[in-house]
Amino acid sequence: MSDEVTLVIPADEDFRPILHLVVGGLAVRLDLTMDALEDLQVALDALLARRDDMGDVQVRMVFDDREMRATVGPLPLTVIDDLERDRDGLGLRRVLETVCDTFEIDDRNGEAWVELSKQTAAPARAGG
């Protein structure tokens, strides 16, 4: 079973606690660990920090018993440059590599969208 929530909020920093509330509510409902919840919130905050305007930003979250995925956008295309430039630094790439299992960036009509994933359960062991 998976749950999906799409939230559209102003990109302004004042609205980010609403996103935290929604993600936290889903995490409790799905019995996610506090570590997994915090990792997702850190990743989302790092991405949303790239926007601080009154335009809308969309966060689509899909949670199931093994993985949570979030797609965030639109973000400025400079996010792509930030990720490339950060290969050896302590910037956005390092944050996402540290707190997410995977992340992918997509250029959609001149805007960046980032998809994050985080495992929520240990993989099944072979040979049980």
* Cβ within 8 Å of residue 30, ≥6 positions away: 3, 63, 65, 120
Total-model pTM? 0.84
82-105: pLDDT as tens digits: 887 766 667 888 899 999 999 999
pLDDT tens digits for range 57-73: 999 998 877 888 999 99
Q: Is 28 left (phi over 0), alpha (psi -120 to 50) or beta?
A: alpha
Give 2-119's CATH code, choosing from 3.30.565.10, 3.30.70.270, 3.40.50.10070, 3.30.70.3460. 3.30.565.10
Place of tokens 């996610």: 32
Residue-wise pLDDT for 3-34, tens only, equals: 788 999 999 999 999 999 988 887 787 777 88
pLDDT at 128: 47
pLDDT in tens, 35-52: 888 999 999 999 999 987
Cα-Cα end-to-end distance for the chain: 24
